[in-house]
Amino acid sequence: MFSLVQVELYKIFKRPRTYIAFGAVAALIGIIQFGLKVDGKSYLDFMLNDLSSSLEIDGKILNGYLVCYVMLQLLLVHVPLLIALIAADMISGEANMGTLRLLLIKPYSRTTLLLAKFIAAIIYTLMLLVWLAILALFGSMLLFGTDDMFLLKTSYVVLLKESDVFWRYIGAFGFAALAMTTVAALGFFLSVFAENSIGPIVATMSVIVFFTILSTLNIPIFNIIKPYLFTTHMIGWKEFFDIKVNASNEAIIGSIQNPEKIVKASLVLVAHTIGFFVATLLVFRKKDILS
């Protein structure tokens, strides 16, 4: 199994296509950081427009923690496309090249081979997130420094102490890893039906867009299924940045307002990931390889 995973990773990281995702993430983060570094004040003025008259804010608001949060809000919506580029190609790409048949005549079971490919796809996904974390979090901390984190939510403001932020990012990236693994599993599942990469990549994105719209639609009939859609829970990482307050309305350091929501969202995502993989396995084990 280990050597199979090694081979799969070797193939992934020898493909120029793999680095498109890493390049795209670096370019987007670089542009946002440049923009905020050069014109961060305008951004803050726009963000705090309604509050500036009622709040007096002191300190370095535009710090590395806030910049990272802003970037995650923008990027984590689009990262699934970059993950689909590889995950949805894992089987269909091999079928297209004709190499799938060569892999399947080696002395491994289809289950073992599929598991190795899935593990490799997950490792790629995690590496992309680590890359994103390095650039978005550590890069921003380096460029903008650190301070307390000031977050403007829809109907309230959250102020997190500087010492209470970093662990939340670890949690947020961990949760994002779960969400992106689900995306990878979906791409992997769709990959088993096609003999070219384009179809599964487009299908993966279409499924995500379709269910994201369902998740955000405020029509009562859809409320029944919303809790079961993985897209409803993909933004669950934001929960790490909501803090509990005590009776005196003071923030409780180290707390999360709704940890149950994170646990529930994680379980839904894990269930989808397992479900997609098992479905892939069932289809793949019986599939006639005609490519």
Partner 1 sequence: MRTSWLLVCYNRMSSVIQVQGLTKKFGHQFTAVNDLSFSVHKGDVYGFLGQNGAGKSTTIRMLLSLITPTSGSIEIFGMPLQTNRAAIMQNVGAVIEKPAMYEYLTAYQNLKIFSALSGVSKTRLQLLHELDVVGLAARANDLVRTFSQGMKQRLAIAMAMVNNPELILLDEPTNGLDPQGIADIRNLILQLSREQGKTVLVSSHLLSEIEQVATRLIIIDKGCKLVEGDSKDLFDTSKTVVEINTLNNEQALKELLQSNWSGQILVDRCNSKQVIMQLDEKLLPSLHKHLVELGIGVLSVKPMHSLEDYFLQITSTQKYV
What does 252-268 look like in DSSP terms, one character per residue?
-TT--S-HHHHHHHHHH
By CB under 8 A, residue 2 contacts partner 1: no
What are all long-range contacts of 198-201, with beta carbons under 8 Å and residues at least 24 apart?
199/92, 200/84, 200/88, 200/89, 200/92, 201/84, 201/85, 201/88, 201/89
By CB under 8 A, residue 105 contacts partner 1: yes
User: Would you say 109 or 255 has its CB closer to partner 1?
Assistant: 109
- State the binding string over 48-87 for partner 1 (x if CB under 8 A, else -): ----------------------------------------
Q: What is d(CA 138, CA 140) in angstroms, rounded to the nearest whole number?
A: 5
Mode of pairing for the β-strands spanning 157-160 and 149-152: antiparallel
Q: How far is the CB of 185 from partner 1 (least distance, A)?
A: 24
Q: What is d(CA 131, CA 22) in angstroms, rounded to the nearest whole number?
A: 7
Q: What are phi and psi of 158, to 5 degrees?
A: -115, 130
The encoded tokens of residue 119 equal: 């593990």
By CB under 8 A, residue 289 contacts partner 1: yes
By CB under 8 A, residue 249 contacts partner 1: no
By CB under 8 A, residue 154 contacts partner 1: no
By CB under 8 A, residue 20 contacts partner 1: no
By CB under 8 A, residue 102 contacts partner 1: yes
Cβ(230)–Cβ(182) below 8 Å: yes
Question: Is residue 109 classed as helix, strand or coil in its secondary structure?
Answer: coil
User: Would you say 20 or 77 has its CB closer to partner 1?
Assistant: 20
201 by Cβ neighbours in 10 Å (0-12 / 13-18 / 19+) ranks as buried
| Residue of 101, 145, 213, 263 interacting with partner 1 (CB under 8 A) | 101
Helical packing angle, 110-133 and 259-286, nearest 10°: 140
Q: How far is the CB of 8 from partner 1 (least distance, A)?
A: 10
User: Would you say 94 or 239 has its CB closer to partner 1?
Assistant: 94
Residues recorded for the chain? 291
| Residue of 13, 15, 39, 159 interacting with partner 1 (CB under 8 A) | 15
Please identify which residue in the block is written with the tokens 């009776």.
Answer: 247
Cβ(72)–Cβ(139) below 8 Å: no
User: Would you say 17 or 153 has its CB closer to partner 1?
Assistant: 17
| Residue of 3, 53, 54, 246 interacting with partner 1 (CB under 8 A) | 3
Q: What is d(CA 181, CA 140) in angstroms, rounded to the nearest whole number?
A: 25
By CB under 8 A, residue 288 contacts partner 1: yes
Binding window for partner 1 (CB under 8 A); candidates: 31-39, 94-102, 175-183, 233-241: 94-102
| Residue of 6, 52, 163, 255 interacting with partner 1 (CB under 8 A) | 6
Q: How far is the CB of 153 from partner 1 (least distance, A)?
A: 46
Interaction with partner 1 in 106-135: which residues (CB under 8 A)? 106-109
Residues engaged in binding partner 1 (CB under 8 A): 3-4, 6-7, 10-11, 14-16, 97-99, 101-109, 286, 288-290
